[in-house]
Structure 1
Amino acid sequence: MRIAYYAPMKPPDALVPSGDREMAGLIASTLVLAGYEVEIASVFRSYEGEGNPGRQEMLRIGAEQEAARLIERYCERPAEERPQVWFSYHVYYKSPDWIGPLVSRALGIPYVLAEASYAASRAKGPWAIGHLGAEAAIRSANLIFSMTKIDYAGVQKILTGRQIHRRLPPFIDPAPFAVMPHNERAPGEPVRLLAVGMMRYGDKLESYRRLAQYLTLTKRKDWTLTVIGDGPARKEVEEALAPLGDQRVQLKGAHPKFEMPKLYAEADIYIWPAANEAYGVALLEAQAAGLPVVAGKVRGVPDVMLDGQTGFLTPENDGEAFAGVVDFLISDADARRKMGETGRRFVTSMRTMEKASVILKHGLLAVVRNKPPRFAWRRRK
């Protein structure tokens, strides 16, 4: 079966790395693993992050023009070479899908969403246009895969009985991280903390600021911090971390994906406050690498950890609690080892591409049985 795949927020081959790009690529690869033929339908970005209604309207018009172009192109193909399913990843008020519903309706094929979010509070305000597009896409979807419990609950409120709604927990390819042997620190050396995150303004910068604040509250000071990431807010991140001391904090910048397993293997504890984090691909990577994780209990983060087993989730904005569990893990090497082993088993057994491919395949088989009607489309002259 041929699938037209689209990520309105960021295409899988985007130049700037991010968790969103990583998951977009993982889902596309997992669909291939499940036996489907996947083609990137469009690289049109509908993302508008400033709350500019005029810009959102321009993006809507541009997306509808792109949809018309795609419909025309697909209609020129022989029937057996057209997509049988349209699949869009990550649709919400900042990156609505204006294209998929139009194309799938014209071709009479199922429209599928993964990681869609619905927030009624955005119906009014600067993102009202984007919210309208996201809501329309969700309401027109034949099948929706929700990746976190909070997204599942929000989307479920506006679905009809005819729509199929399934859980698809966040996942990764854990093999590169799980097979890398841990680089043990020398006796007497400080415990090695690790944080991974792009240095962007907004939530990422807020996570770094919280991290710096929380680490000043630790009673144990026998630790070092390695930071992997880069971006436009690097100067502000450096300023936030500066009070911790140059001898203790090392900023290594961004690294290519293939180097990440080695960097995780050189750490002892992974820490991240996760300010407004959707769920955090890096948290899964750290667990696959055998690291205990300390993170904020925010949004979908509880969906990628086993609290108290693979690490600790602390209340949002509770620096004392965060610092306290970091102190505990620094003090207890046996707890670090046991939690790390549990985290690796959790990810390598439950959060793999193979597990995700089964969920995706079952959902797609269910939706193609109830193929939607095709609507007439007239080619432009």
Structure 2
Amino acid sequence: MRIAFHTPLNAYDDGRISGDRRMARQLVAVLEGLGHSVTPGIGARDFMPTPEPERLAAHEGAAARRADDLLSQWRADGAAPDLWFTYHNYYKAPDLLGPKISARLGIPYVVAEASDAERRASGDWARHTAIVRDGLSAAALHLYFTDRDRQGLEPWRSPHTALVELPPFVAFDREPPRRAGCTDVPRLVTVAMMREGTKENSYRLLARALHHLGNRPWSLTIMGDGRRRPEIEQAFAGLPEGRIAWHGAVAHDRVVAGLAGHDLFIWPGLREAYGLVYLEAQAVGLPIVAFDSGGVSATVRDGQTALLVAEGDEAALAAALQSLIDDPDRRATMGAAARRFALDERTPAAAAAILETALATALANHAARRSAGGRDIAP
């Protein structure tokens, strides 16, 4: 099939480090591997940080013009898509193209990692949320990565709209290196951007948890940079001298090799969508310590490859860290299980098997919907 692939949250070809952008590229690669012809970057970025009606109107106007241009182009060259695939839309980045173009072309509309926010259904974001919900109703298929997203999408499950789990997966150019052997001083590592909001809050929680472990032997490597680095460095300032190694921004092709030089991956992950870095760390054989927050649980096997603790509980985070610092045999056992999990279960091949079946379901749902006169079942 010819597939139009749209990413309203972030531009597809934006080269900045981001799990969102990376997952988009992975999805395109898997679809192409299944034999489809995929055109990514089909529309503009429609992220809106604030809800002013004028901002939304400007985006809607630009999207309408883009839709007309695309339809004219496809009429001229006969290369209209057979299916529309939108990745990651929500109230701040609604899909202003997919549902309308799909309806005009009479093609299936598929969405991956969409989310709904009931608390935004009224107030300043109400119009944005209504647009998202129109798209949720129009979709023949929703691919969800986490159970949190599934719960939000359940009201849109219907005979003509399927919900299919697509667990987060990670692609490697070559087999990741294995973790080096355990050392007398356990080497902790974390990888995250240093920006305000939940990333900074996760760093601060990590720093506070580490203060509980001052009498234990450990070191921490931090790979990441950003505009909040001075404030984040200050949060770690009270820890014993020499414990923290600040590596700054590290090129993505060097991150995995860097992870392999450590014994344990720690990132609290407050409200993390899921976090591909958890899969990368497991792939080299590192056990994980994190909060059971957001979609983190979708990337690990709690109790087998990771220790997850209640969101925000820094004492529990410290206790989980301490238990693995004190038990090298358990670290090794969990690390081996982590590598098997990431490299055997969370692969592009596994994602391809799910996508192949799911797209067939989308085509069937679309045909059934059209036979029923295009009626949708919405909440």
Q: Is TM (by shorter chain) over 0.5?
A: yes
Separation of aligned partners in 2, 1:41 and 1:184: 43
CA drift of 1:183 comes to: 3.1
Instruction: Tell me if structure 2 keeps the 8 A contact 1:172–1:352.
Output: yes
3-state SS of paired residue (2:290): strand
CA drift of 1:91 comes to: 1.1
Specify which of 108, 111, 116 is matched with residue 110 of structure 1. Answer: 108
Separation of aligned partners in 2, 1:261 and 1:358: 26
Are 2:317 and 1:319 equivalent residues in the alignment? Answer: no
Separation of aligned partners in 2, 1:128 and 1:250: 45
When residues 165 and 216 of structure 1 are mapped into structure 2, their CA distance, relative to the original with a 3 A threshold, is same
Instruction: Tell me if structure 1 keeps the 8 A contact 2:17–2:252.
Output: no
Q: Which residue does 1:151 correspond to in 2?
A: 149
Q: Which residue does 1:379 correspond to in 2?
A: none
| Residue-by-residue CA offset, 1:141-168 (whole Å, 9 max, x unaligned) | 1111111111112111133321122111
Q: Which residue does 1:61 correspond to in 2?
A: 61
Which is further off, 194-203 or 242-251?
242-251
Specify which of 193, 197, 200 is matched with residue 198 of structure 1. Answer: 193
Separation of aligned partners in 1, 2:53 and 2:285: 45
3-state SS of paired residue (1:144): strand
Q: Which residue does 2:259 correspond to in 1?
A: 264
Identity %: 36
Q: Which residue does 1:140 correspond to in 2?
A: 138
Instruction: Tell me if structure 1 keeps the 8 A contact 2:84–2:98.
Output: yes
Counterpart of 1:63, as a letter, is A
Instruction: Tell me if structure 1 keeps the 8 A contact 2:43–2:97.
Output: no
Q: Which residue does 1:378 correspond to in 2?
A: none
Counterpart of 2:25, as a letter, is G
CA drift of 1:55 comes to: 2.3
Separation of aligned partners in 1, 2:47 and 2:340: 36
Separation of aligned partners in 1, 2:50 and 2:209: 29
Name the count of aligned residue pairs.
Answer: 370
Instruction: Tell me if structure 2 keeps the 8 A contact 1:46–1:95.
Output: yes
CA drift of 1:356 comes to: 0.4
Instruction: Tell me if structure 1 keeps the 8 A contact 2:176–2:257.
Output: no
3-state SS of paired residue (2:248): coil
Are 2:249 and 1:249 equivalent residues in the alignment? Answer: no
Separation of aligned partners in 2, 1:348 and 1:86: 30
Aligned pairs for 1:175-254 (under 5 A) are 176=174, 178-184=175-181, 188=184, 190-218=185-213, 220-245=215-240, 247-254=242-249
When residues 236 and 52 of structure 1 are mapped into structure 2, their CA distance, relative to the original with a 3 A threshold, is farther
Specify which of 290, 306, 311 is matched with residue 295 of structure 1. Answer: 290
Q: Which residue does 1:167 correspond to in 2?
A: 165
Separation of aligned partners in 2, 1:51 and 1:232: 25
Are 2:95 and 1:97 equivalent residues in the alignment? Answer: yes
Which is further off, 60-69 or 326-335?
60-69
When residues 123 and 287 of structure 1 are mapped into structure 2, their CA distance, relative to the original with a 3 A threshold, is same
4+ long deviations beyond 6 Å: none
Q: Which residue does 2:354 correspond to in 1?
A: 359
Separation of aligned partners in 2, 1:214 and 1:292: 18
| Residue-by-residue CA offset, 1:274-328 (whole Å, 9 max, x unaligned) | 1111111111111111100001001211111111100100101111110001011
Separation of aligned partners in 2, 1:64 and 1:291: 48
Q: Which residue does 1:46 correspond to in 2?
A: 46
CA drift of 1:53 comes to: 4.1
Q: Which residue does 1:85 correspond to in 2?
A: 83
Q: Which runs of 5+ in 2 are unaligned?
A: 374-379
Separation of aligned partners in 1, 2:135 and 2:362: 16
Q: Which residue does 1:32 correspond to in 2?
A: 32
3-state SS of paired residue (2:10): coil
Separation of aligned partners in 2, 1:157 and 1:84: 27
Specify which of 327, 331, 334 is matched with residue 326 of structure 2. Answer: 331
Separation of aligned partners in 1, 2:325 and 2:215: 7
Q: Which residue does 2:274 correspond to in 1?
A: 279
CA drift of 1:129 comes to: 2.8
Alpha carbon RMSD of aligned pairs, Å?
Answer: 2.0
Counterpart of 2:167, as a letter, is P
CA drift of 1:242 comes to: 2.3
Q: Which residue does 1:13 correspond to in 2?
A: 13
| Residue-by-residue CA offset, 1:177-227 (whole Å, 9 max, x unaligned) | x53132346x54x21111111112111111111111111122643111111
3-state SS of paired residue (1:244): coil
Q: Which runs of 5+ in 1 are unaligned?
A: 376-381
Separation of aligned partners in 2, 1:67 and 1:208: 42
When residues 128 and 327 of structure 1 are mapped into structure 2, their CA distance, relative to the original with a 3 A threshold, is same
Q: Which residue does 2:376 correspond to in 1?
A: none
3-state SS of paired residue (2:123): coil
3-state SS of paired residue (2:38): strand
CA drift of 1:51 comes to: 4.1
CA drift of 1:345 comes to: 0.8
